[in-house]
Amino acid sequence: MAEKIFLIAVIVCIICNIIRFIYEILKHKKIIKANQFTLVIIFTNMALLWVSWVLLCANDIHRIELTNIIRYIGISFVGIGLIIFLMALFLIKTFESYEGDLITKGIFSKIRHPMYLGFILWLIGLPIYFGAVYAFILAFVFIANVLFWRYLEEKELLERFSSYIDYKKTTIF
């Protein structure tokens, strides 16, 4: 049963990552615009992605036994990622359709893309916690996807805000 769950979760994760990848390209090329409809689709896609990621990690068919300290480090990454993500979400108050000024306060005063950083910490932390070997390998493919989203967003922010170059000098990631 765990093997079936793992395989289904891998397929769902890959499909969700492809959907998000295509969405980001279409948004960047201004073929589609973030609105209520796209927000629902992307929110649903991301929810499916994260649920399938947890299931994939928990049911990985190749696991290694890690010491508790290493497992705690993994779950700490997840917790820290969640905190960073939520801090950003409460400031920006949206997932996809932010049209306001450049946010440089709160978590954004230190980290340019805290939501993406949160995603990356989840992607690394869960496989470590579960000792999930295949999930850990897949995490790097998914991290590349998150870094691609970040790259496109950086280009957009450089176009939208003349102060973004200076902002980049005072923040990380």
How do residues 73-111 score in pLDDT, each as one tens digit?
999 999 999 999 999 999 887 666 667 789 999 999 999
Tell me which residue range forms the domain holding 134.
2-169
Q: Quick one: average pLDDT of 26-37?
A: 89
State the pLDDT confidence band at 35, using cuts at 50, 70 and 90.
confident
**Residue 76, class by beta-carbon neighbours within 10 Å (0-12 exposed, 13-18 middle, 19+ buried)?**
middle
Q: Which three-class secondary structure state does DSSP give residue 102?
A: coil
Q: Which of 126, 72, 81 is nearest to 107 (CA)?
A: 81
d(CA 81, CA 96) in angstroms, rounded, equals 19
Cβ–Cβ < 8 Å for 64, 133: yes
Q: Could you report the per-residue pLDDT of 137-158, keeping only the tens digit for each?
A: 999 999 999 999 999 999 999 9
In degrees and rounded to multiples of 5, residue 97 shows phi and psi of: -115, 30
Token duo for residue 88:
């950003």
Domain count, the chain: 1
Cβ–Cβ < 8 Å for 167, 109: no
Q: At what angle do helices 2-28 and 133-160 cross, to 10 degrees?
A: 10
Token duo for residue 76:
């700490």
Residue recorded with tokens 């765990």? 2
pLDDT for the residue 93: 75
State the pLDDT confidence band at 12, using cuts at 50, 70 and 90.
very high
Q: Quick one: average pLDDT of 27-40?
A: 89
What is the share, in percent, of the chain residues with pLDDT greater than 70? Answer: 97
Half-sphere exposure of 99 (CA within 13 A, CB side): 4
Query: What CATH number is attached to the domain comprising 94?
Result: 1.20.120
d(CA 132, CA 71) in angstroms, rounded, equals 11
